[in-house]
A = this chain, B = another copy of it.
Amino acid sequence: MAMVILSDWLAAQLDKHSAEPAYRQLLQLMQQAILTGRLAPGTKLPSSRTLAGDLGVARNTVLHVYDQLSAEGYVISSTGSGTYVADTRPDSAAVNPAANAEGAAGNAPDEAAGEPARETCPRGDMSKRGQRLIDQAGVSAKQWGAFMPGVPDVAEFPARTWSRLQARLWKSANHGLLTYAPGGGYRPLRRALSDYLRVARSVRCTPEQIIITTGIHQSMDLAVRLLADVGDRAWVEEPCYWGARSVLQSSGLTLAPIPVDDEGLNPREADLREPPRIALVTPSHQYPLGMVMSLARRRMLLEYARQHKVWIVEDDYDSEFRYGSRPLASLQGLDDSDRVIYVGSLGKLLFPGLRIGYMVVPERLAATFRTGVAELYREGQLMQQAVLAEFIMDGYLTSHVRRMRTLYGERRQLLIDAVTQHFGDALPVMGDEAGLHFVLGLPEDADDRAITAAAFEAGVIVRPLTAYYSTRQQHQGLLTGYACVPHDEIAPAFATLAQVIETHAFAQPRKRRRVG
């Protein structure tokens, strides 16, 4: 492109009425001209004075554009001899030595000619583990509403108290709270948590053994990466939490689904013959079915772990919300061989968006885990950890949990009443009296995924139990959460759900039992 044509082309493209300054427009136009070859390598650019005159812009504007083009390597300026377009075209031989060396066609293959279409579609773009992760994804697009399982009522969270503590801490101008966190997290929070866990969960620990994380996912991820290698075997409960499966699989572990019965994890002899590296369990409240692991099974698992050097990851899920009996002690508290990594989270107690969790690791691993968490995740959020520490130390955590336990207990009962009213005892409510959801059993010939989809259409969220299994030994059911549903919305929302279930689960119209 000769210089005069360049000036003409630029003049035609420049929009003097645009909000975009002339400098930016001119810079982008010239970059574009160089990248597309419109301005060939070696071309001498007009002097800044000439170009400014041709375009009717300030000379300084052109000078700045030339400086920037030079700084970015688009042009080369040499004092006295002018400014030239640099040769930055990739050398086909340099980037494709294989084709060259083998004396093949020599040029890069033309994508338009012959590349199969699937190569450029998202499936081909992804890794195998990425594809599996997305194909099996359990995460939901909606996070709120009747009967979203596993979500606490955030409207009941004492936001004003939290905000007040937060404002006070920001005002104190403790700059150390704004930097990266040294491994393990904010020390007063670790002390507050170790006190809390000792008393509430019979966990044996010192603050040194506590590692603050962003939640269960990160805790599991850290344990898996520090303790297990690619190809190692991990026991997971069948059924289990989808997130656990995703985290373990994407770190390269081979999952062995172990059946559960009404005493919890129930490994078969064939399972026992192949000791895993890691066993992930939810002894307090099996997720999603809700039973409690019996003491006998707990002792069996601990003894097996001791003998075979298995790491047990105890996810102490939902242990705080029990409506009948007192919460059971943790598995960690029974462990004399230091084989248990205890993990928990504050999301369900306070609000899910908080993203603060913790793990309790055996003393001899504590320093390793502190380094590991800092190295892998470069954690921070000390300010928020400090707010939480005050919240706990001032007694707000305990009183909030106590209040929520009453509230959720009432909601659970209201939902059970609604189930009974609609279905009598035709559909069992499964699991212990605990947690934020229960599983509503369905006839084995029902299709819980179809029911979930139809319920979603009707405005009610549930989760299909079959989605939590990884083998074909599945049971039909619906994970039904009551915690985030105000009392007076429970019956009407369940009426909607009941209608969907009636339509889908019972081939024959059932004689409905109406109580009251």
Report A's interface with B, CB cutoff 8 A: 31, 35, 67-68, 71-74, 86-92, 94-98, 101, 108-109, 119, 121-122, 125-130, 133-134, 137-139, 141-144, 151, 154-155, 157, 159-160, 162-163, 166-167, 170-171, 173, 175-183, 214-218, 225-230, 232, 242-243, 246-247, 250-252, 269, 272-273, 277, 294-296, 298-300, 302-304, 306-309, 325-326, 328-329, 334, 347, 351-355, 364-365, 368, 371-372, 374-384
Q: A74-B295, A91-B300, A108-B307 are in contact. Are A378 and B182 (CB under 8 A)?
A: no
Bound complex: CA A368 to CA B368 (Å): 34
| Residue picked from A134, A154, A225, A308, most chain B C-beta under 10 Å | A225
Q: Which residue of B lies closest to A163 (CB)?
A: B170
- Which residues on the B side are within 8 Å of A86 (C-beta)? 295-296
Whole-angstrom distance from the CB of A237 to the nearest CB of chain B? 18
Q: Are A215 and B176 in contact (CB under 8 A)?
A: no
Contacts A108-B303, A181-B353, A230-B252 aside, 5 further interface pairs with beta carbons under 8 A come to: A73-B296, A88-B298, A96-B308, A129-B225, A130-B228
Bound complex: CA A74 to CA B251 (Å): 38
Q: Which residue of B lies closest to A135 (CB)?
A: B371
- Which residues on the B side are within 8 Å of A216 (C-beta)? 378
Q: A88-B296, A217-B378, A375-B137 are in contact. Are A67 and B325 (CB under 8 A)?
A: yes
The A contact surface, by secondary structure, is helix
Q: List 26 A-B contacts (CB under 8 A).
A: A73-B294, A73-B295, A88-B299, A95-B300, A127-B277, A128-B229, A130-B225, A130-B226, A130-B227, A130-B372, A134-B226, A137-B375, A139-B183, A139-B375, A155-B175, A157-B178, A159-B178, A160-B170, A166-B166, A167-B167, A180-B352, A215-B378, A246-B375, A353-B380, A353-B383, A355-B379
Whole-angstrom distance from the CB of A112 to the nearest CB of chain B? 13
Q: Are B380 and A355 in contact (CB under 8 A)?
A: yes
Whole-angstrom distance from the CB of A309 to the nearest CB of chain B? 7
- Which residues on the B side are within 8 Å of A88 (C-beta)? 294-296, 298-299
Bound complex: CA A119 to CA B121 (Å): 48
- Which residues on the B side are within 8 Å of A302 (C-beta)? 90
Q: Are A365 and B125 in contact (CB under 8 A)?
A: yes
Q: Which residue of B lies closest to A71 (CB)?
A: B325
Bound complex: CA A12 to CA B379 (Å): 48
Bound complex: CA A179 to CA B374 (Å): 26
- Which residues on the B side are within 8 Å of A178 (C-beta)? 154, 157, 159, 351-354
Bound complex: CA A262 to CA B300 (Å): 62
- Which residues on the B side are within 8 Å of A227 (C-beta)? 125-127, 130
Bound complex: CA A306 to CA B90 (Å): 12
Q: Which residue of B lies closest to A228 (CB)?
A: B127
Q: Are A90 and B299 in contact (CB under 8 A)?
A: yes
Q: Which residue of B lies closest to A124 (CB)?
A: B309
Q: Are B167 and A374 in contact (CB under 8 A)?
A: no
Bound complex: CA A125 to CA B216 (Å): 21
Q: Which residue of B lies closest to A24 (CB)?
A: B199
Q: Are B163 and A175 in contact (CB under 8 A)?
A: no
- Which residues on the B side are within 8 Å of A381 (C-beta)? 353-355
Q: Which residue of B lies closest to A322 (CB)?
A: B71
- Which residues on the B side are within 8 Å of A126 (C-beta)? 226-227, 368
Q: Are A378 and B328 in contact (CB under 8 A)?
A: no
Q: Are A95 and B304 in contact (CB under 8 A)?
A: yes
- Which residues on the B side are within 8 Å of A176 (C-beta)? 144
Whole-angstrom distance from the CB of A498 to the nearest CB of chain B? 26
